[in-house]
Structure 1
């Protein structure tokens, strides 16, 4: 990836997020790569087949699928991921929309990532599987919190707890809630793409947590994203509560 070609997302109000999801408009996208593919090329044919494969397989494989098609120099790598709390029908709709829209958003691009409210789709002419993608951008709620000190402490604790749990969950997903100033509840979730291992997921989430002050300092909501993981928090519940929670493995016992 060429960092100079990465277009970072604008920092927008989360008030627009729900509207975007309802209208099948992505939360954000980046179009990458140093060269474009040409119309009717072998790369384009492979890309179209790969996106069709993701559309068919992501919803029925637990909300995640990574695959590759073709051979170099026309090989395409891609993945799709649905948020850990969404049902199969919602996952199907989101992946169907995103695999269609990403071609319109990034015409000719050999690399692209599109984020929706409940899923992401990514493809490239380079093998990115098992590699932590860096920070791509964020969105924020424009409303300030009422008690900054209490909120910072509660948000930090929640994000640390979620980011230590998600890597060891089969979905690499965790959600929860916290209280600040004694009676204000807010909600958060984190998730990684499942081509990463647990330590890589932890690194990815930690990188995004470190971006919270610059993205969403003392705001009632925020979302920070990369091609490998994302986090989000809001003052209203935006996810389906988990019925089970995975915990990190216990350290080996000493003799």
Structure 2
């Protein structure tokens, strides 16, 4: 807890200092703008599965965007997989995003790119017992489409797909398909969010490594339903997150990494 608190304080001071030196309107240099974000979550879930042993995590990152639509994002988070010497995730994304007219009255936004998920120390502290490969790191290519104002004003529907040739924990081929939706809730200032994703791994052993479970399936569904609210320059979120991974024959404690949970997050952009 002391280690987590020190990280939170350090990042909080850094965010506050950065916010005072950056104007509300992002300054462009050679067509490039920069923005950052610091977040605290009660449980870091990735595709429905905890990355922090169901404990709080501190996260933060920067995105450098060019007026052409190209961007570079650097992001990090504390993690806890129960693996000695592995406590930090560091990701880097290189992508391109732009809009086009889907119809005369609707603009759609596409986003394509590649992202590398890194885990400091995992190369020397983790070995996949099924194939003898070391490390947790993996790389994905992704593509998504977002459609605003589909049903209500200011709502958004998104669809996406990702592929990794060697997924988390060196578990070989992986596909991910997801659909998301967000919309303002009347005049409350709240935004409702929902998403569902389909995870397809190479085999049952791969799923057992990535998410646990009794090893009966090679795929699973993750989901999220929640609300967001902005106040005093902060963004808060309260989400119900879970999966349909089989839990037969497991103890309550063993189910927790991917069982349904309520997650609270608080973030500050600058």
Normalized per residue, the structure richer in helix is: 1
Q: Which structure's relative contact order is higher, taking Cα pairs within 8 Å and 6+ residues apart?
A: 1
* TM-score where L is the length of structure 1: 0.28
Normalized per residue, the structure richer in strand is: 2
* TM-score where L is the length of structure 2: 0.27
When Rg is computed on C-alpha atoms for both structures, the one with the higher figure is 2
